[in-house]
Amino acid sequence: MKKLLAGLMALMMVLGMAAAFAEGITTLEEGKMIYSTSPDFPPFEYRDDNDNIIGIEPELIALVAEKIGLTAEPLAMDFDGALLAARADLGAKADLIVSGVTVTEERKAVYDFTEPYTTITQAIVSKDGAVTKDQLNDVIIGVQSGTTGQIYAEDNFKNVTKYETYSLAFQALQNGQVDCVLLDDAVGNAYIKRIPGLGAQPTDCEIEEYAFGVNKGNTALVDAINAALKELKDDGTIEAIILKYNE
């Protein structure tokens, strides 16, 4: 009986916490937290064999939403579209973007960011890992449109080709249309595991922070997500999810 009562009390505390988080939060659809995402970005978000969207961020945002008292619902599209879909000034179709988004000053102007949950840097992926950072001015670089990889490449190198998705960029690499793909290191490693014969080289790019970009002005939702992220970080859940998808 004591164990039963303790279990009921714990359940009541969890439900009470969710209700407290949800109080005062406004989302586009009641009871839901719709997030835009580009699911071609393993290990952060991608589709499994049954076309379900899985990865570090879908699993993490589902737990965050549960703690807040909402249900996370993905809205899949290319990365440029996902960025636009979460902008309040453009008539947001999603409450936030969850798609490997690096926090930048330019993006802060159109989103309210949560606290970062992990960091990455840029890497160069090519056949056999042959292309180094010193060769980037002499090769054709593939990037995904809208990414920090695109910004860095276009600011520093001559021959850059943009693609809507990383799947198309890596197809171009395999077909010899580009010599390398510049992208976030964790994502590059995931594609190396999928496609035989690829390797990676480091860059001298700065460390980037990943966070979730919420509709500008939705402070209550940002605060609730941050509180949930802190709990998930403190109890080791975020680290465990990241390790799970990087095995």
- Tell how strand 118-120 and strand 111-113 pair up: unpaired
Quote the CA–CA distance of 12 and 143 in Å, as a whole number: 49
Mean pLDDT of the chain: 91
Would the pTM count as exceeding 0.75? yes
- Quick check: helix, strand or coil at residue 145? coil
Q: For residue range 16-28, list pLDDT tens digits in order.
A: 334 445 668 999 9
Domain count, the chain: 2
First to last CA, the chain: 42
* 18 domain residue, yes or no: no
Do 193 and 226 sit in the same domain of this protein?
no
Q: Which domain holds residue 185?
A: 122-202
Do 36 and 152 sit in the same domain of this protein?
no
Q: Is the pLDDT of residue 13 over 60?
A: no
Q: What is the mean pLDDT of residues 207-214?
A: 97
Do 167 and 98 sit in the same domain of this protein?
no
Answer whether 111's CB lies under 8 Å from 86's CB. Answer: yes
Q: What is the CATH number of the domain that holds 160?
A: 3.40.190.10
Q: Is the pLDDT of residue 218 over 50?
A: yes
Report the share of the chain in percent with pLDDT over 70: 91
At residue 5, the pLDDT reads 41
Q: What is the mean pLDDT of residues 101-117?
A: 97
* 224 domain residue, yes or no: yes
* 16 domain residue, yes or no: no
* 219 domain residue, yes or no: yes
Question: Which residues have CB under 8 Å from 210's CB, separation 6+?
Answer: 44, 100, 101, 102, 103, 116, 117, 118, 119, 120
Distance of CA 104 to the CA centre of its chain: 14
* 54 domain residue, yes or no: yes
Do 112 and 153 sit in the same domain of this protein?
no
Do 102 and 215 sit in the same domain of this protein?
yes
Question: Which residues have CB under 8 Å from 47's CB, separation 6+?
Answer: 39, 53, 54
Q: Residue type at 207?
A: I
Q: For residue range 111-161, list pLDDT tens digits in order.
A: 999 999 999 999 999 999 999 999 999 999 999 999 999 999 999 999 999
